[in-house]
Amino acid sequence: MSLTEEINVRAVTAGVPLVAHLDITYRCNERCVHCYLDHDDGGEMTFAEIDRVLGEMAEAGVFQLTISGGEPLLRKDCFPILRRARDLGFNVKFKTNGILIGEGEAAALRDLCLDSVQISIYSHRADVHDGITKVKGSLERSLAAARFLVSQGLRVKFANVLMRDNANDYPHVQALAEEIGAGFTLDPTITPHLNGDRSLLNLGINREALNKVMRDERLVGNVGEFCAPPAAVGDDELNSFPCSAGHSACYISPYGDFYPCVQFPLPCGNVRRESFGDIWRGSPQLAEVRSVKVRDLPVCSTCVHAGSCTRCPGLAYMEGNFRGPSSADCAKSFARTGIESAAMRQRS
């Protein structure tokens, strides 16, 4: 067990929300074709509200805090929010598209001593990247920001979401990251819109492309072990929790809505009406999420992949039942091993 895994186990045992994700706005200066958010301002929390919530998070034991959006730099108080988070001792990860970052912003981010800055890069080709973001010149501006941030000593990571339009571009994006001195992560999963609209899934890569990704040796550590046969499923796997969402991690929207995870939009409360700690400790919805172990999943507990699947309960929830299978994760397990999941066998 790695140190990170050990810390997470201890956090779950102690009931500590070790990791939190806070989106401070859904507004954005890009219009990415695959985005699952509504970009209108539905009444964002004020700085005073966010300040209070950050204090409550710190009191509850949150250590790692991701601040994102939308594009968080569209908020004029983004830097005061980041400063408050750092003053409270959070290890802060910052997600941005980078196109609003100039020398002044980069210097300010450097002085905050952030853990890392993640920037979405969809392709090395401007026409493809800009076609996804719907903003002409966005690739050039995002890369310029990444280069300057790295020059200032910040840890930068490229996030590459795979779609049909950029399915073959990830090796070049990975090479760009290496050239600049940035990290690289790859995500082959398209998330349904938070309003339940699943039409975004049509943008996802096909089975052939997914097989290629899941068996690419250069991506070990980014999308998991490739061609690895599933390990035997024992009591340890069956008695484990499906995911850290709601156990040691949580998500808060710009409007104060509290969810187990950004990809698990099960309403559990609102920090405008209740304190963060009261929701974390007393939400019936969170209690239900925490009560479920792998052996309680009717289909997945019978699956040969039960001990190795990356099953996301949030994606399963958006398919209708968070105790059910996630078709996207079934597809990844199949692509990785060539062995159908229990859910795939039931459907065939």
pLDDT tens by residue, 201-230: 999 999 999 988 888 877 755 544 444 455
* Structural tokens at position 312: 């996301």
From residue 205, how far is each of 158, 194, 291 by CA, in Å?
19, 20, 34
pLDDT at position 13: 79
pLDDT at position 10: 84
From residue 102, how far is each of 99, 141, 208, 255 by CA, in Å?
8, 9, 40, 28
Instruction: Give the number of C-alpha atoms closer than 13 A to the C-alpha of residue 308, restricted to the C-beta side.
Output: 21
* Structural tokens at position 213: 């990704």
pLDDT at position 220: 58
Q: Which helix (H) or strand (E) holds 333?
A: helix 327-337
4 burial (CB, 10 Å; 0-12 / 13-18 / 19+) is exposed
Name which of 291, 285, 297 is nearest 260 in CA terms: 285
CA angle 24, 27, 32 (to 5 degrees): 120
pLDDT at position 191: 92
CA 27, distance to chain mean position in Å, is 18
SS3 39: coil
Rounded Cα distance, 16 and 60, in Å: 7
Q: What is the pTM assigned to this prediction?
A: 0.92
Rounded Cα distance, 301 and 197, in Å: 28
The number of beta carbons lying within 10 Å of the beta carbon of residue 240 is 14
pLDDT at position 149: 96
* DSSP one-letter code for 295: G
36 burial (CB, 10 Å; 0-12 / 13-18 / 19+) is middle
CA angle 88, 94, 96 (to 5 degrees): 145
Rounded Cα distance, 191 and 181, in Å: 29
CA dihedral angle for residue 304, residue 305, residue 308, residue 312, rounded to 10 degrees: -150
Sign of CA dihedral 198, 200, 204, 207: positive
* DSSP one-letter code for 29: S
Residues of the chain with pLDDT under 70: 1, 220-233, 348
SS3 184: strand
pLDDT at position 227: 43
Q: What is the DSSP string of 105-173?
A: HHHHHHHTT-SEEEEE---SSHHHHHHHHT-TTHHHHHHHHHHHHHHTT--EEEEEE--GGGTT-HHHH
From residue 211, how far is each of 6, 207, 215 by CA, in Å?
32, 6, 6
pLDDT at position 160: 97
Query: Phi/psi of residue 156, each to 5°?
Result: -115, 140
